Amino acid sequence: MESTRDGTFKELGDLKKLYIEKGVTPDKNVICYCRIGERSSHTWFVLKYLLGYASVRNYDG
């Protein structure tokens, strides 16, 4: 999860580590998805605007 208990985002270093440990790295094409797009849009925002991933999209299926 990208946010803390108080609803703010985690520190950038913590976010980078979280995604890199899961194999989500800036050199890959990343497609975020979930059932209705609510959670995936949050992840898309983190990757695109906070971490600066160049190739990230949100699937709205």
Residue-wise pLDDT for 32-54, tens only, equals 999 888 889 999 999 999 999 99
- Are the C-beta atoms of 45 and 3 separated by less than 8 Å? no
Kindly report, residue by residue over 4-20, the tens digit of the pLDDT. Answer: 788 889 999 999 999 99
Question: Which pLDDT score is estimated for 1?
Answer: 63
- Tokens encoding 28: 């890959």
Q: Which residues contact 21 (CB under 8 A, 6 or more apart)?
A: none
Residue tagged active-site, from 15, 18, 24, 34 = 34
> Is residue 34 annotated as part of the catalytic site, yes or no?
yes
Domain ranges (residues) in the chain: 12-58
Tokens in use for 37? 């797009």
Residue 46: its pLDDT value, please? 96
Cβ neighbors of 14 (< 8 A, separation 6 or more) are none
